[in-house]
Structure 1
Amino acid sequence: MAEVLLYHHVQGLTDGVRAFADDLRRDGHTVHTPDLFDGRTFGSLDEGMGFVREAGFDALRERGVAAAEGLGPELVYAGLSFGVTAAQKLAQTRPGARGALLMHACIPVTEYGTPWPGGVPVQIHGKEGDEYFAEDLPAARDLAATASAAELFLYPGDQHLFTDASLGDFDADAYRLLLERVRTFLASV
């Protein structure tokens, strides 16, 4: 079984993020869900982004990085949209990563000053018509083409946070398929 460090999206540690973590826990995985927003959740992406701007994007990402300090190095780092910033940074820069799950976002590998580490598998998931993921799609394609064990999955539709059952963007069919792929991934690391 894998140990997963799952970072929430910009709307916070919502019930839908907790439900996703619980789905993985039911499979026997250990899943940590640090709350980078100290209990705050937001009703929209715009409200969440307003909070991130006010609190400081880099400060919140570093809070996410710090959440890994008390955990062993052999983690699967998982991020949902905003949470990808911490998950990807740790997967790229912290030795011992077992894998990365990047959902709804992907950062250019050059952002963290080091190439993607050899032997660290990664899955990237996004909606093909999602205006936010469209900005990240070139980085996702680049990572998928250059990492030794990378998969890029595009789902039909335009919802951004389609994995969060507590939000209006939830897509049950796409979520089931993503969860099946994530389960396969976690079983292999």
Structure 2
Amino acid sequence: MAEILLFHHALGLTAGLQSFAERLRANHHVVHCPDAYSGQTFKDLDDGLRFAQDIGHDALEEVANRAYRQHRDAAVVIGFSLGSSQAQQLAQHKRRIKACLLMGGAQAPESLGGDWRHTCHLQLHVADPDEWVDPGVVEGLMYRAPHGELFRYNSKGHMFIDPSSRDYDADAADQFEERVVDWLATIDADAGEAWARF
């Protein structure tokens, strides 16, 4: 069993993401979903991005830090697009975080004030191509995390995993979810010794 902090994308904590979290819970994981939008969701990405800009980067970062403080057994972070920055920030700076999954987003480690911790396993999922994800940043992050895994989903929209998004693709979403479930099972099975490899 993994205890997870899951950070939503720019559309908010949508029904699609909540359903995904519920399916992870059905697999015996503990999943916390910090809501930076206080319940508000959007259908249009531009509207969601404007709302996120109004909130501001510092407030989004504080949501992540507060969730980290509140859930002291959480050792895995998952971030979707906008939320990938929150997840990656914790993964780089908090030793308790042992694994990080980013979907539809990645930051250059130095832009978050440090480098990637080699003791933190990384899995990265991106549409290919994706206008919201810089290929150079992806390559740079994977170089810094040599044990990380990168999955590309050809000809899919940015947020293909979420039924609440116009980008949704059921087959690709199923493939993504299978990979996440397998990854979490590996974390669970390896428990105390898995991270010694990284």
TM-score, L = length of structure 1: 0.93
Q: Map Cα deviations across residues 55-99 of structure 1 (whole Å, 9 max, x no partner).
A: 212322322222211112551111000001110000110112120
Which aligned pairs between 1:1-189 and structure 2 lie closer than 5 A?
Answer: 1-72=1-72, 74-133=74-133, 135=134, 137-189=135-187
Runs of 4+ in 1 over 6 A off after TM superposition: none
- Return 6-15 or 141-150, whichever deviates more: 141-150
**What is the CA deviation profile of residues 34-75 of structure 1, one whole-angstrom value per residue up to 9, with x for unaligned ones?**
111011111111000111122212322322222211112551
Q: CA RMSD in A?
A: 1.3
Secondary structure in 2 matching 1:86: helix
Q: Does the CA contact (< 8 Å) of 1:4 and 1:76 recur in 2? A: yes
In 1: Cα distance, 2:55 partner to 2:96 partner: 30
Unpaired stretches in structure 1, ≥5 consecutive residues: none
Aligned partner of 2:118: which letter? G
Number of positions where the alignment pairs a residue of Structure 1 with one of Structure 2: 187
Distance 1:118 1:186 in 2: 18
Distance 1:146 1:83 in 2: 20
Distance 1:22 1:177, change over 3 A: same
CA–CA distance in 1 between the matches of 2:25 and 2:64?
21
1:40 is paired with a residue whose SS is coil
User: Which amino acid is 2:119 matched to?
Assistant: G
Counterpart of 2:195? none
* CA drift at 1:132: 0.9
